């Protein structure tokens, strides 16, 4: 075999190895992220965050009016947060803090987006609500925070 043929063969093996490594890493990332999304009940099942972000960027962030609108009112000490899902897009419809109990709205995201959130505060206590759409239905993640005493 000539020296040129030997170099080409080695280069071919190196390229094949790199391609196989990239495919293996991609499959691993997609599998681990998909399982994580399913465990957390977050986002479209089977899609990892990078794939979902790429899909959302490729599409315009406009809601398909043919998708069914699934609404939900989330109620707790803070008051109420009305949300909806239209396909994969979450919408924040309204916030109604329980002003009589001292709650106020700090921030509120309307969307459409892959998630919407609202933050409510009452003195040293705050609650952050984040809503994703899973199979077209609202799924809530809530974070409850309390500031430490000023001693």
Assigned domain for 42 exists: yes
**Residues in contact with 95: Cβ distance below 8 Å, sequence separation at least 6, in sequence order:** 79, 80, 81, 82, 105, 108, 118, 120
pLDDT value at residue 149? 74
Question: Domain of 34?
Answer: 3-53
Structural domains in the chain (count): 2
DSSP string, 63-122: --TTSPEEEEEEEETTEEEEEEEETTEEEEEEEEE-GGGT-EEEEE----BSEEEEEEEE
In terms of domains, do 81 and 138 share one?
A: yes
In terms of domains, do 135 and 81 share one?
A: yes
Band (pLDDT 50/70/90 cuts) for residue 58 is very low
In terms of domains, do 9 and 40 share one?
A: yes
pLDDT value at residue 99? 92
Assigned domain for 8 exists: yes
Band (pLDDT 50/70/90 cuts) for residue 151 is low
- The sign of the CA dihedral 117, 69, 95, 129 is negative
In terms of domains, do 22 and 68 share one?
A: no
In terms of domains, do 85 and 102 share one?
A: yes
Residue 90 has pLDDT above 80, yes or no: yes
More confident residue, 23 or 69: 69
In terms of domains, do 77 and 136 share one?
A: yes
Assigned domain for 119 exists: yes
Q: How far apart are CA 75 and CA 96, in angstroms?
A: 9
In terms of domains, do 94 and 119 share one?
A: yes
In terms of domains, do 43 and 70 share one?
A: no
In terms of domains, do 28 and 81 share one?
A: no
Which range (59-68, 91-100, 135-144) has the least confidence?
59-68
In terms of domains, do 31 and 90 share one?
A: no
pLDDT value at residue 52? 53
Assigned domain for 151 exists: no
In terms of domains, do 125 and 104 share one?
A: yes
In terms of domains, do 80 and 102 share one?
A: yes
Band (pLDDT 50/70/90 cuts) for residue 47 is very low
């Amino acid at each position: 075999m000539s020296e040129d043929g030997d170099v080409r063969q080695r280069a071919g093996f190196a390229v094949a190895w790199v391609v196989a490594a990239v495919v293996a890493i991609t499959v691993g990332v997609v599998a681990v992220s998909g399982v994580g999304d399913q465990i957390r009940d977050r986002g479209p099942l089977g899609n990892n965050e990078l794939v979902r972000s790429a899909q959302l960027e490729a599409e315009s962030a406009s809601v398909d009016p043919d998708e069914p609108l699934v609404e939900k009112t989330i109620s707790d000490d803070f008051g109420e947060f009305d949300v909806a899902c239209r396909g994969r897009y979450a919408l924040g419809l309204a916030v109604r803090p329980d002003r009589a109990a001292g709650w106020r709205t700090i921030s509120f995201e309307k969307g459409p987006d892959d998630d919407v959130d609202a933050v409510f505060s009452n003195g040293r206590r705050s609650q952050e609500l984040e809503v994703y759409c899973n199979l077209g239905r609202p799924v809530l993640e809530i974070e409850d925070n309390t500031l430490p005493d000023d001693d």
